[in-house]
Amino acid sequence: MELLEGIESRRSTRGFTGQAVTQETIRKILHAANRSPSFTNSQPWEVAVVVGSKRDELSKILYDLAASGTPSSAEMPYPKSWPQAIAERTKIHGARRFEALGVARDDSLRREEIRLANFKFFNAPCALFFLMDKSLGDWSTMDMGIFIQTLSLAAHGLGLGTCMQASLSNYPQAVRTFLNIPENMKLMVGMSLGYPDESAALNSYKSAREDADSFTRWY
């Protein structure tokens, strides 16, 4: 796949076939992501790859926490408010997503089902958790984002789909305990990885973008 075509055609996948991803393929993707640039080549990233019965068990732990209404204790706090224009975009995103799925505004049951699908990894056979040392700051957070997008594009180039998921960072202690990850590692975000199920309803939605001219100042 040509680079620009890959960048333009990547989108979040929220329905997977369940077909296993081989360890060789996952290694290939991690190898490509590892070429990401980082501040003074600090390479702050660590990745937990969770498949098979471990994936199923962790999914159940996170699902049960989410379904029982356990409040998020994410270590990268959710924004409390947005500047108005951005708030508008997030609202439109939410509304369009539910509209594409034919879910009514007051259908709280279906909306909750969709939220909880996050914790089933949207049926993906592989879940990734991205971690960095708790002492690191904003520059490393930027590096993590670059790494995660590169990984996502590498996966896409191999015919796989990904969904970056802040929701998978809601219960960091549960993830650390289950995966035996040291306390000093901060859980940044999670990701579902697998082969896209093109027929899945959750994949019917395509996100929009502002025109590039709207965020560019030319001098």
Ligand X SMILES: Cc1cc2nc3c(=O)[nH]c(=O)nc-3n(C[C@H](O)[C@H](O)[C@H](O)COP(=O)(O)O)c2cc1C
Residues that bind ligand X (CB under 6 A): 11-12, 14, 93, 118, 163-167, 189, 207
**What residue has token string 């093109």?**
198
Q: How far is the CB of 200 from ligand X (least distance, A)?
A: 13
Q: Which is nearer to ligand X, 11 or 55 (CB)?
A: 11
Nearer to ligand X (CB atom), residue 125 or residue 161:
161
CB of 57 to ligand X, least distance (A): 20
Q: Give me the DSSP letters along 131-194.
A: EEETT--HHHHHHHHHHHHHHHHHHHHTT-EEEEEGGGGS-HHHHHHHHT--TTEEEEEEEEEE
Q: Which is nearer to ligand X, 23 or 38 (CB)?
A: 38
Q: Which H helix or E strand runs over 59?
A: helix 52-67
Rounded CA separation 58/207 (Å): 29
Least distance from ligand X to the Cβ atom of residue 24, Å = 26
- Decide whether 7 or 53 has the Cβ nearer to ligand X: 7
The CB-of-12 to ligand X minimum distance in angstroms stands at 4
Alpha-carbon span 41 to 70, nearest angstrom: 38
Query: What is the separation of C-alpha 67 from the centre of its chain, rounded to a whole number of angstroms?
Result: 19
Q: How far is the CB of 189 from ligand X (least distance, A)?
A: 5
The residue among 79 and 83 lying less far from ligand X, judged by its C-beta, is 79
State which residue, 30 or 146, has the beta carbon closest to ligand X: 146
Pairing of strands 161-165, 126-133: unpaired
Cα–Cα–Cα angle for 147, 151, 164, rounded to 5 degrees: 85
